[in-house]
Amino acid sequence: MIKPKTEKEIEIIRQACRITKDTLDEIEKHIKVGVSTKELDKIAHDYIISRGARPSCLGYCGFPASICASINDEIVHGIPKANRRLKDGDIISVDLVVEYHGYNGDAARTFLVGNVSAEVRQLVEVTKQSFFEGIKNIKGGSFVGDISHQVQTYVEKHGYSIVRELVGHGIGREMHEDPEVPNFGAMGAGPKLKSGMTICVEPMVNMGDKHVKFMADGWTCCTRDGLPAAHYENTILIKDDGVEILTM
């Protein structure tokens, strides 16, 4: 049983999501050749604190940082490091969750570093667009599978593949709540969405095949074939007549 949020809860989640978006904008200003992922983490951490909020990732199941920073073949959950510096032509996915007055906002972007090849730029663009295809025509009464199917169809039409091991999720007091929101599936499948639900839609798209491997650090998820992957995520609110994107 998935309980829609009250108007009061939605207003707090809106604020958490606003801070999440502003933090991503702050990080984007510092995306340059030579910056380390640890420096980006500190910028995000200090910014979130300055807004009176808390970085939810820090300490979550032992995660040691405020952001996930995943470069090139790293799909998600990369750990920021002082010796990992951005290079010309890299792509970096930054994923972060902000808690404000007990409620969470969650979003991710894949940024380009310097001169990125046209091929990789297209991967990043299709991944972003697959989010918008996913939420097309979604409203109270739609099914989670409708989102899944629309994302998958768009991504596969472009010859890329969808990661299966990790999925989107509901969000609220907890970073991860029901329902799971896979980026693959059938129209009409899964739970029915109701007005007032808040969920995270987050396509993780591989340029090559769908297979992943998990690194020895216990967190970083990479493509098995070593080809790049991209990630794009927003927290959205389901309404009677559509959706509201809260982290944009």
Residue 36 CB: number of other CB atoms within 10 A? 16
Residues numbered 100 to 119 that lie near ligand MF3 (CB under 6 A) are 106
Q: Does 95 bind ligand MF3 (CB under 6 A)?
A: yes
Among 77, 84, 149, 210, binds ligand MF3 (CB under 6 A): 77
Q: Among residues 5 and 77, whose Cβ is nearest to ligand MF3?
A: 77
Among 35, 36, 38, 63, binds ligand MF3 (CB under 6 A): 63
Q: Which does 205 bind (CB under 5 to 8 A by kind): ligand MF3, Co ion, none?
A: none
Q: Among residues 116 and 169, whose Cβ is nearest to Co ion?
A: 169
Strand residues in the chain grouped as ranges (E): 54-55, 67-71, 74-76, 91-100, 103-112, 161-162, 168-170, 177-181, 198-201, 204-206, 212-214, 221-223, 229-231, 234-239, 242-245
Q: Which does 68 bind (CB under 5 to 8 A by kind): ligand MF3, Co ion, none?
A: ligand MF3
Among 12, 68, 71, 229, binds ligand MF3 (CB under 6 A): 68
Residue 4 CB: number of other CB atoms within 10 A? 16
Min dist CB 17 to Co ion, Å, is: 12
| Interatomic CA distance for residues 238 and 115, integer angstroms | 37
User: Interface mask (CB under 6 A) for ligand MF3, residues 194-213, using x and -?
Assistant: ------x-x-----------
What is the pairing mode between strands 204-206 and 67-71?
unpaired
Give the type of residue at 177.
E
Phi/psi region, residue 185 (left: phi>0; alpha: psi -120 to 50; beta: rest), is left
Q: Among residues 116 and 219, whose Cβ is nearest to ligand MF3?
A: 219
| Interatomic CA distance for residues 199 and 213, integer angstroms | 26
Min dist CB 202 to Co ion, Å, is: 5
DSSP string, 140-169: TT-BHHHHHHHHHHHHHHTT-EE-SS--EE
Q: Among residues 204 and 222, whose Cβ is nearest to Co ion?
A: 204
Residues numbered 31 to 60 that lie near ligand MF3 (CB under 6 A) are 57, 60
- 13 phi/psi in degrees, rounded to 5: -60, -40
Q: Among residues 74 and 106, whose Cβ is nearest to Co ion?
A: 106
Q: Among residues 155 and 204, whose Cβ is nearest to Co ion?
A: 204
Contact footprint for ligand MF3 (CB under 6 A): 57, 60-61, 63, 68, 77, 95, 97, 106, 200, 202
